[in-house]
Structure 1
Amino acid sequence: MSKKIRTVVVDDEPLARRGLLVRLDQFEQVEVVAECSNGRDAVTRITETAPDLVFLDIQMPGLNGFEVLRALSQSMSQMPLIVFVTAYDQYAIRAFDVRALDYLLKPVDEERLAAALERIELAMVNVSEKEQQHKLVDLVAEMTGEDGEDILRRLADGESLRVDDYPEHIAIKESGEITRVAISAIEWVDAAGDYMCIHADNETHILRRTMKELEKELNPKSFQRIHRSAIVNLNQVQKLCSRQNGEYHLILHNGEELKVSRSYKDKIKQLILGR
């Protein structure tokens, strides 16, 4: 095969990442174009480099492997081929074998790596096989991805990959404690730098997540953006008011008044009138 396999390696463990890179260096057909130590960097670098292949660790802090896939499926028109790297052999073998997704167990075995690369080369020239893997990867990417091991267990047990239900609670870690906040109790959310302020039951909780990440866990039938950095629970809205200057404000049942930006004004009016 004359074409190089442009490859990205993603693993938060430096030794594991270095070990895989050393093994890949023995394969002339592989060109490593980037290595990433966390999920957020992986999404950026993979989107920028558009590689043919990604060796993707599953269990990483921040964004795990499944969450990385979900983000990539939203930002890329053509997904790279994926080889999962995992230490969870309890579920991984059955979970991935039954769905024809390739995987490597840590520590990576050289023969197993060679076999995986052979399949990758075939997939790169076999369009139907490549398209099939893309479909499977897209299914995995729809998982909520909060816990890699739990997802592997669900895959191995044959549970549906599609997630249509939204969580009923959100776990928020503050000062060494974890508080479970009911999603229905959330009144509104606003961004404060790298943090989210979750306002629920007249209390404010600080969540270390981005607005975009949090929005994916909230049912859009109930939660809508009203500003670039604010989301409101429509069930908590008492009325929509217009001001003389043309601005619109939402009044919540708790008395809180929130400004609606111009770009969201028409959508919010439509949603409020339709309720």
Structure 2
Amino acid sequence: MSLRALIVDDEELARRGLLRRLETLPNVEVIGQASNGFEAVEMIGELNPDVVFLDIQMPGMNGFDVIAKLQSDTLPLIVFTTAYDEYAVDAFKVHAIDYLLKPVEIDRLTDAVTRAAERLSFEKSDSSKQALLDLMMSATTKHPKEISATDTENTKKGDTWPEKIAIKDGSDITLIRVADIEWVDAAGDYMCVHAQGNTHIMRITMRQLSEKLNPDVFLRVHRSTIVNVNLITGAQALTNGEYTLTLSNGTRLKVSRSYRDVIKQFLSTH
């Protein structure tokens, strides 16, 4: 599946540099370029791109203004590109799928394109047959192949895990109850922690955060997603053998092929 991409940046050199990098990636077609927010809104409506690489700081209409102008049914996947990292929290609040710092590195760009392709594929599979099943057993945040005897020993009954985690936002620190965490997804160098309807951004790796979470409660279902099993209310079996999970708040998360064996194991016990 080829991603139809639109580049939005007021700096010509930035647009050209991003175009060159995207042209080296398979299954990406750059269908247009906009030099300001007003052009971006118009081109998104006309071209209907799958993903928009959107600069934040632009004169007249910045990246967030562009999103505010779009209708929800025409909103493409958004990857923010910026030279500043202080906008990360706001970026993920508007459901951007990634946040790239300039100059954009090819490895990070590749990750962003992969995330966009996976998200688009997930959305297009939404019409698959619904199959609700309870999934309420203990789990591990690691891939099944990574589980060892040491891991089993470390998750014995009696282990203590923090009740709260600290999330720093500039000079402010917010304490989040671990039990309130619904799911976590990774976006590059950031972790998006979703709790009680809010999204909190942490500058931490997936491995580091996993070590703070009780593996009897938090299940890794994708290389970039961890879910609280206590909030899982059902599952959807897709035609390609994959699954999506439904949480109590209505959120639906994809289980990647690499982790579907974990779900199959749960299903076989219920």
Q: TM-score, normalised by structure 2?
A: 0.44
Structure scoring higher RCO (CA < 8 A, sep ≥ 6) equals: 2
Larger Rg belongs to: 1
- Identify, as 1 or 2, the structure richer in helix: 1
